[in-house]
Amino acid sequence: MIPKSHPRYESLLLRDKMVKASKEGYLADSAMIAHGRGEAFDYLIGEKTTYPAKRAMYVAVAALLLSNNPVISVNGNATALAINEIIELAESVGAKIEINLFYRTDERVKIITQLYKNQGYKDILGTLDDDIEYLNDIKNNRATASKTGIYSADTILIPLEDGDRAEILKKSGKNILTIDLNPLSRTSKMSDVSIMDNIVRAIPFMTKIAEDLKTQDKKVLIELVNEFDNEENLKESLEQIKLKE
Ligand code: ATP
């Protein structure tokens, strides 16, 4: 048990979740490395949600609410850190959830499917029984997509995504939203809206934003999306990284 008074309490709690997930067998071998990279960036922004991240979250939620077929793509890391929060956000914005693994194996897909079902979420896509298609006719595991989910989606939220996969999604003409603590990653640069924040803070905050934006006129949401400049916002995000005390 980590004492709550520990100065690194929150961060250690997340490490514990990752270790547990790893033992349960649904993380890729490189998952811890990806988590560590995220931790380093989080440290440098003071482990707090920054203003540019908040701005990007408003835009991302507006985009999800305006979409016809929005999908939240989940991998092992996202599931380990924020499964319940992801389900809540999906329900709030009317998005589907799809399992989307860079290193897709039947075993990992099976475990993750069961985890969502255990939380009472039955409609998970990208499962072993799902109708899987290939994006842009790329016949490899990095391009798989559920026919009713990512394959036909107009907007996809891809938290903690790898650059190769993000590129395939982007090239297929989708509106791409990401949550990635690294503002320099290929995924952040390639996305239409990049939220430089920890998934554990970002997702619940986005659900709160959704409750607010759902009461607003559609015109307000369209304006939010149209006025946003991701490149500019990423520059501002980078400026939040502090290398001095
Ligand atoms: P890219 O291929 O996009 O250039 P990468 O090689 O770093 O980036 P991965 O390691 O596959 O890609 O993706 C993990 C990304 O997720 C990293 O950029 C990391 O900073 C980020 N990340 C890890 N943990 C979290 C977290 N808890 N919240 C938000 N982002 C995270």
| 160 CA: nearest ligand 1 atom | 16
Pairing of strands 144-146, 155-157: unpaired
Which residues 6+ apart lie within 8 Å of 12 measured at CB? Answer: 2, 6
Q: Is the pTM above the cut of 0.85?
A: yes
| 164 CA: nearest ligand 1 atom | 2
Per-residue pLDDT, 46: 93
Ligand 1 neighbourhood includes 89 CB (under 6 angstroms): no
Query: Which fold would CATH assign to domain 51-239?
Result: Rossmann fold (3.40.50)
Which residue has its alpha carbon closest to ligand 1 atom 5?
Answer: 162
Ligand 1 geometric centre to CA of 4 (Å):
27
Domain extent listing, the chain: 51-239
Ligand 1 geometric centre to CA of 38 (Å):
6
Q: Mind listing the pLDDT tens digit for each residue in 171-199?
A: 999 999 999 999 999 999 999 999 999 99
Above 80 in pLDDT, residue 137?
no
Ligand 1 neighbourhood includes 70 CB (under 6 angstroms): no
Cα 135 from Cα 148, distance rounded (Å): 13
Q: Mind listing the pLDDT tens digit for each residue in 43-88?
A: 999 999 999 999 999 999 999 999 999 999 999 999 999 999 999 9
Which residues 6+ apart lie within 8 Å of 231 measured at CB? Answer: none
Which residue has its alpha carbon closest to ligand 1 atom 13?
Answer: 162
